[in-house]
Amino acid sequence: MLEKHRTDMIVVGGGPIGLLTAIEAKENHPSLGITVLERYDEYQRKHPLVIAPQSFDGITASSYLKPTIEAFKKAKTVRTTTIEEKLEGYAHWLGIQILKNEQVTDPTSLKDRFKDVQVIVGADGARSTVRKKVFEDELEEERDLNYICEIKYDVWEKTEQLGSCCGGLWGMKRGGVFIQEHVGREQEAKVPVSIRVFLSKSEFDQMQGATYRTPYNLESENLPPAIKEKAERWLRIRQQNLGERRVIGSEKITTTRLGTYKSKTFVKRDSVNDVTIQVTSPTT
């Protein structure tokens, strides 16, 4: 079935990069009909991000978007969902069509559905289907920067960041580990807390099964004893110094690999389908 919305450009992936790509294109070329295809109905990632202000350098921010970008720059942490919701709202306001529950398995077949499309941009992350199908997943560079274990749990009523006070530095020194903390807003008498522990490569390899879809908990058999000891030690420090009342069983433990990669080729012309295809890269 053909879409009523004229689509000159398709962005595959409705995360922050995909939405910003669509917004930038619309800001610079208002006449373009742009459609964003997002595989999920709801955003999957809800974790807080520490954003370097220079990440937004060069963005064409209108008077409407500029305050949002400035707020992101000033904030110590911003939740992924907050970024996506703000950008999605602005994209809708610009007239960008966002279609969800759209699983793109073959980017070249999109021309059959969107007859007017001239450009397809793959902004679908590190495991990009566009890069795999069109660019044969060829990378010029790929390397890991850091490995993180994130421990999320809920606290009854109230809490705060331990930081450098109340034993925080003592805990980091004695624990021999670098810690980042984030405390969310209270909802239904519970406050979400996230603790990020930086792992070694060997520690990360031991618990790659702890994903956002299949998180571990403190009692998981696959949780390495050394990681469990680090997590429980920090939780004890927070309880002793802040009086936290943790919601038992609310713990979710996941791992993330922070890396950088650069595609060998960024743009290809599909002469058969009369469309230009590109990927957003490099990405960190």
For the stretch 88-137, pLDDT in tens is: 999 999 999 999 999 999 998 999 999 999 999 999 877 788 888 888 88
**Which domain covers residue 126, as residue numbers?**
9-138+264-279
pTM: 0.72
Sequence-separated (6 or more) residues with CB below 8 Å from residue 236: none
The answer to whether residue 179 is domain-embedded is: yes
The string of DSSP letters for 203-270 reads HHHHTTT--SSS-B-TT-TTS-HHHHHHHHHHHHHHHHHH---B-TT--EEEEEEEEEEEES--EEEE
The answer to whether residue 284 is domain-embedded is: no
The answer to whether residue 67 is domain-embedded is: yes
In the chain, the largest separation of any two C-alpha atoms, in whole Å, equals 66
Contact 241/166 with Cβ under 8 angstroms?
A: yes
Same domain (yes/no): 93, 127:
yes
The answer to whether residue 162 is domain-embedded is: yes
Same domain (yes/no): 71, 160:
no
Read off the pLDDT of residues 221-257 as tens digits, 9 standing for 90 and up. Answer: 888 888 888 888 888 888 888 889 999 889 999 998 8
The answer to whether residue 1 is domain-embedded is: no
Give percent of the chain above pLDDT 70. Answer: 88
The answer to whether residue 159 is domain-embedded is: yes
Same domain (yes/no): 19, 116:
yes
The answer to whether residue 75 is domain-embedded is: yes
Same domain (yes/no): 104, 126:
yes
How many domains would you assign to the chain? 2
- Both tokens of 154, joined, read 């809920």
Same domain (yes/no): 88, 195:
no
Same domain (yes/no): 190, 237:
yes
Confidence of residue 164 (pLDDT cuts 50, 70, 90): very low
The string of DSSP letters for 244-263 reads --B-TT--EEEEEEEEEEEE
Beta pairing partners, 153: 193
Question: How far, in Å, CA of 69 to CA of 109, rounded?
Answer: 35
The answer to whether residue 163 is domain-embedded is: yes
Structure-model confidence comparison of residues 25 and 162, the more confident one: 25
The most confident of 11-25, 220-234, 260-274, by mean pLDDT: 11-25
In angstroms, what CA-CA distances link 244 with 109, 124, 172, 189, 247? 54, 39, 18, 13, 9
Sequence-separated (6 or more) residues with CB below 8 Å from residue 190: 154, 155, 156, 157, 247, 250
CATH number at residue 192: 3.30.70
pLDDT value at position 168?
Answer: 44
Same domain (yes/no): 235, 268:
no
Question: How far, in Å, CA of 230 to CA of 199, rounded?
Answer: 11
Same domain (yes/no): 148, 247:
yes
User: Rounded mean pLDDT of the chain?
Assistant: 83
pLDDT value at position 115?
Answer: 92
* The one-letter amino acid at 208: Q
Same domain (yes/no): 269, 251:
no
∠ CA 132-203-233, nearest 5°, is: 130
Query: Both ends of the chain: CA-CA distance in Å?
Result: 37
Is residue 33 pLDDT above 50, yes or no?
yes
Same domain (yes/no): 85, 149:
no
Same domain (yes/no): 150, 248:
yes
CATH number at residue 105: 3.50.50.60
Same domain (yes/no): 101, 177:
no
Is residue 173 helix, strand or coil? Answer: helix
pLDDT value at position 76?
Answer: 67
Contact 124/12 with Cβ under 8 angstroms?
A: yes
